[in-house]
Amino acid sequence: MLSIYNKKNSEIEMSNDVVIIGAGHAGGMTAISLRQQDYHGLITLIGEEAYLPYQRPPLSKGFLAGEIEQERLYLKTQSYFEKNNIHVIKDKKVLNIDRDNKNVFLSDRKKIEYGKLVMATGSVPNKINTSCRETNLYYLRTITDALKIQQALKNKNKITIIGAGYIGLEIASIAVKKNIDITIIEMEDRVMSRVLCPVVSNFFQKKHEAEGVKFKFNVSVVDIEDSHNQKQIKCSDGTVMNTDAVVIGVGIKPNVELAIDSGLVCQDGIVVDENGQTSDESIFAAGDCTNHTNSFYQKRLRLESVHNAVEQAKSVAASIIGEKKPYHQVPWFWSDQYNLKLQIAGISHNHDQYIIRGSMEEEKFTVFYLQKKKIIAVDTINNLKEFLNGKKLIAMGAEIPPEALQNKDTNLKEWIKQNTD
C-alpha cells in the first residue's frame, strides 16, 4: 500500500485502485470476487464495525440460538485477507466522498484515494421513536446486537417483539424454546404479510401459537416508556403492556445518506444498472443499498438478501476488471423457524392465483404463485427439491396447468428437462 505523509494537515493519504465502503456481505464478496477473478490491483475495504466481513442471516438463527460459533460467521479469515493483499480497515466510518478528486475521507481524518469506488453500505433498521432509555431495548443488525439479545435470552422472563416479519419470528422461535413469555405486536393483520399469501401466513401463525407465542395484530406502538425495571409499551388500541425487554424488528431501509450527500442518483436505494454501475462511471454499488432493474420482472427492485449481495458483488467485480457479467438472477430468500425451513424464490407481488402442492399437515408443501398463468414465485416449506425446481420454472417463465402443479405426482424436474432440451 502506498502511504504519503502530508505535513499540512498530518493526514495519511493512501492511493488505491479499488476502495470498498462497507465491510458486510456485499463489500466482502466484492473484494473476494475481485481476487477470484484475478484482479491484481490494490483493494481497501472499509467497515464501521470491529469485525471482518461476516454473514448476517445466522444472527437471528443459529448464532442467536448458540448453535454457531462467531468464527463461523466470517466470510474469510484474517490470514486470507492478508495473503490476498486486501487491506481491511475496521471500526471506521467514511464521512464524505470527493468525486472530483476521487478521495474518501474517514472518521479518523485519513484520506484515501480511489480509482474505482464500490458502495456496499447495506441497510439500517427502521427505528421507533420512544421515550425510554436504550437499556433492554434491542434491534438486530450486527454481531454486537445479537450478543446483547443472547444475554437477554438468558436472564429475561418476558420479552415483547415488535414486528412479525422474518427477524421477529425467528427470534421468537428461539426465545420461546427457552421458556420465555413471548408476545409479538404486529400492525398488519397477519405474520409476514409482505411476502406470504394469507394461507401460508396462517400456517406459520398457528405453528408459533402451538409453541406458546402470543400475537397482537392490527396494533401499532405509540410509545415505550421506562417503568421501574421494566418497559411499558403503549399501543394504538389503548392497551398498555409491561415487559422485561423489547426487541424491535420493523424492517430495514437502505443506508444511502453518504451516496445522497455525494450526489449519486438514489431512489429507494442507490440506482445502478445491471452491472452495478451508479450515475458516476467510477463508482459501483452492491447489496441492500442498491436499486436495480430485475430482468425477470421488468421493473426496478431493492432486495434485502444475501443472494442479491453475493451476485451483485460478482457483477461489480467483473465490471471493474472489464469483463461485464450483468446481474440476471431470480431473487430468493429463506427463514428458519422451529423445524420449518421456509424458502422463497421470486417475488409474489401482483399474483392473480396461487396453487398449494403437498401437505400442510405434514409440514412439507409448496405454494406456486401465478400471474396470467405464468409462475412468478414459489414458497416451499421443508422441500429443497421443489425450491430448486421452482427457481428454474420462474427463470423459464413456465406455464404449467394449475391441476398439474397441484398434483404432487407431476414430475417437475422432468417437465423442466423436456422444455429445455
CA distance 152 to 137: 10
Q: Strand 240-243 and strand 230-235: pairing?
A: antiparallel
Q: Write out the chain in H/E/C secondary structure.
A: CEEEECCCCCCEEEECCEEEECCCHHHHHHHHHHHHCCCCCCEEEECCCCCCCECCHHHHCCCCCCCCCHHHHECCCHHHHHHCCEEEECCCCEEEEECCCCEEEECCCCEEECCEEEECCCEEECCCCCCCCCCCEEECCCHHHHHHHHHHHHHCCEEEEECCCHHHHHHHHHHHHHCCEEEEEECCCCCCCCCCCHHHHHHHHHHHHHHCCEEEECCCEEEEEEECCEEEEEECCCCEEEECEEEECCCEEECCHHHHHCCCCECCCEECCCCCECCCCCEEECCCCEEEEECCCCEEECCCCHHHHHHHHHHHHHHHCCCCCCCCCCCEEEEEECCEEEEEEECCCCCCEEEEEEECCCCEEEEEEEECCEEEEEEEECCHHHHHHHHHHHHHCCCCCHHHHHCCCCCHHHHHHHCCC
Annotated domain spans of the chain: 2-54+67-123+253-320, 137-250, 339-418
- Helix axes of 143-155 and 166-175: crossing angle, nearest 10 degrees: 40
In order along its 421 residues, the chain shows pLDDT tens digits of 333 323 334 344 444 699 999 999 999 999 999 999 999 999 999 999 999 999 999 999 999 999 999 999 999 999 999 999 999 999 999 999 999 999 999 999 999 999 999 999 999 999 999 999 989 999 999 999 999 999 999 999 999 999 999 999 999 999 999 999 999 999 999 999 999 999 999 999 999 999 999 999 999 999 999 998 999 999 999 999 999 999 999 999 999 999 999 999 999 999 999 999 999 999 999 999 999 988 888 889 999 999 999 999 999 999 999 998 999 999 999 999 999 999 999 999 889 999 999 999 999 999 999 999 999 999 999 999 999 999 999 999 999 999 999 998 999 999 999 988 6
pTM equals 0.93
Do the domains 137-250 and 2-54+67-123+253-320 match in fold? yes
What pLDDT score was predicted for residue 365? 97
- 371 exposure class (CB count in 10 Å sphere: 0-12, 13-18, 19+): middle
CATH number given to 339-418:
3.30.390.30
Q: Is the CATH code 3.50.50.60 the one for domain 137-250?
A: yes
* Cβ–Cβ < 8 Å for 41, 87: no
What CATH architecture applies to the domain 2-54+67-123+253-320? Answer: 3-Layer(bba) Sandwich (3.50)
* Cβ–Cβ < 8 Å for 354, 370: yes
* Cβ–Cβ < 8 Å for 121, 127: no
Radius of gyration for the alpha carbons in the chain, expressed in angstroms and rounded: 23
CA distance 393 to 357: 15
